[in-house]
Amino acid sequence: MSKIKVLHVVHDFLFGGIEAFIFYLVQAQIANENLEIGILCCQDEDKVLNRRIMDLNVKIHYRKIGPFDLNLSTYLQIISIANEYNIVQLHIFKPLLAEAFRFSKAKVIYTNHSSGDDLRSNSISFKIKNRLLVRFLNGIAHTVTNNSNYTKSFWISMGVTNRNNVVIYNGVFFNSSYDSERAQNEYPLISEKFIVGTTSRFITWKRIEYLIDAYSAFEINKTDVVLLLVGDGTEKDRLVAYANSLGLKNVIFTGFKTNVIDYQTAMNVCVFASSSEPFGLVAVECLHLGKPTIVFEDGGGITEIVKEIEPKNIVMDVADLSRLLDEKYNEFLSRKIDSMVKARIQYSEKFNVKAIEKEFYETYIKVSS
């Protein structure tokens, strides 16, 4: 059997869930002797921010292209690159780029990483882009994959009618090598404390302020609790100011950190307050550590993940989160054994990237036939 050649198309190797998923998936796919993997990065090589994927044994083509780039030469080069592959798998949507693949010999798979149902959805440009994406999914894409049932349902509601429309969850390459003492060494304040934490980009729809508000009510009359906020983003300065205005005790903003598992392992409870999250890679990572993982009812794909294993850890609002933190804190004080640790770890293996790679490979075979 000849190898199936797959070209992943990305914008850049950024510091987010999509980049992490592609990084994990490509590692697993390289190990499949029946696949040959390439990447088209729509950015100049010297402008790439997160360079870890560049260390993998995979061919990367760099062609900088904007959302409505009109340079015909660039598209002709990209079509030529695509013709070297059997399948083009897009992880981004740029209207003219997507249209260009109509003229390539490769079959097109589009992977939906976004539900589109967030705080941007009221803008005219966002609505137009969504309509163009639906047109592309119904007219040019051979197959559509979605990273959750939530994401699939959203795009069906937007008008996607492609019959080859499936759910393949994002996969995680679980890292068994981490520094369990790193967080405590960097932040001695957390020693012997009950640690409430999150790892996230600090942007609006991640709703970090919900966690801060819940912690504000939860910490009253407690001296042995800490809020550990790991991440960075456009909202960080505002959130720091907000936490200070509330006069909160024992709140740590770490800023951007590599290998966030070193900090997740220090947490007693992991909280993700996102709304309309398409998937929720961080929840899977925390479950694999055996950690209680709390999400909100309107969390989308991340709620879908937690619901299957521990629906009691889905909260309705800030007050409900504060109540649940108190419950977990009292269990911590009583040294109650967490009977769910093993079950969480076993459940998280469902999202092991090795299993997810097999699902994609089976899809590639169907698309190629």
Where residue 176 falls among pLDDT bands split at 50, 70, 90?
confident
Q: Report the pLDDT value the prediction gives residue 82, as an integer from 0 to 100.
A: 98
Residues 200 and 341 in one domain: yes
CATH of the domain at 67: 3.40.50.2000
In a domain? residue 263: yes
Residues 146 and 49 in one domain: yes
Residues in the chain: 369
Mean pLDDT of the chain: 93
Residues 74 and 113 in one domain: yes
Residues 362 and 334 in one domain: no
Q: Where are the beta strands (DSSP E) in 33-172?
A: 35-41, 59-62, 87-90, 107-112, 143-146, 165-167
Residues 163 and 212 in one domain: no
Rounded to an integer, what distance in angstroms lies between the CA atom of residue 263 and that of residue 254?
A: 10
Residues 359 and 229 in one domain: no
In a domain? residue 292: yes
Residue-wise pLDDT tens digits, 283-308: 999 999 999 999 999 999 999 999 99
Q: Report the pLDDT value the prediction gives residue 117, as an integer from 0 to 100.
A: 57
Report CA torsion sign: 92, 259, 351, 266.
Answer: negative
Q: Report the pLDDT value the prediction gives residue 118, as an integer from 0 to 100.
A: 55
Residue 154 Cα to chain centre, angstroms: 17
In a domain? residue 31: yes
Going from the C-alpha of 8 to that of each of 23, 41, 229, 250, the distances in angstroms are 11, 8, 33, 43
- What proportion of the chain, given as a percentage, has pLDDT over 90? 81
Residues 127 and 195 in one domain: no
Where residue 325 falls among pLDDT bands split at 50, 70, 90?
very high
Residues 318 and 340 in one domain: yes
CB hemisphere CA count around 352 (13 angstroms): 10
Report CA torsion sign: 29, 31, 13, 270.
Answer: positive
In a domain? residue 177: no
Report which of 78, 132, 131, 129 is spatially closest to residue 106, judged by C-alpha positions.
78
Q: Report the pLDDT value the prediction gives residue 279, as an integer from 0 to 100.
A: 92
In a domain? residue 332: yes
Residue-wise pLDDT tens digits, 232-287: 999 999 999 999 999 998 999 999 998 899 999 999 999 999 998 999 999 999 99
In a domain? residue 233: yes
Q: Are 172 and 352 in contact (CB under 8 A)?
A: yes
* pTM for the full predicted model: 0.89
Residues 163 and 216 in one domain: no
Q: Report the pLDDT value the prediction gives residue 122, as an integer from 0 to 100.
A: 66
Q: Report the pLDDT value the prediction gives residue 282, as an integer from 0 to 100.
A: 93
Q: How many domains does the chain have?
A: 2
Residues 85 and 43 in one domain: yes
Query: Strand, helix or coil at 194?
Result: strand
Residues 338 and 192 in one domain: yes
Residues 186 and 280 in one domain: yes
Residue-wise pLDDT tens digits, 16-75: 678 888 889 999 999 999 999 999 999 888 877 777 888 888 999 999 997 678 999 999
What secondary structure does DSSP assign to 309-352, as a single string?
H-GGGEESSHHHHHHHHHHHHHHHHTT---TTHHHHHHHHGGGB
Host domain of residue 75 = 4-172+352-368
Query: Strand, helix or coil at 250?
Result: coil
CB hemisphere CA count around 16 (13 angstroms): 17
Residue-wise pLDDT tens digits, 95-139: 999 999 999 999 999 999 988 655 555 678 778 889 999 999 999
In a domain? residue 153: yes
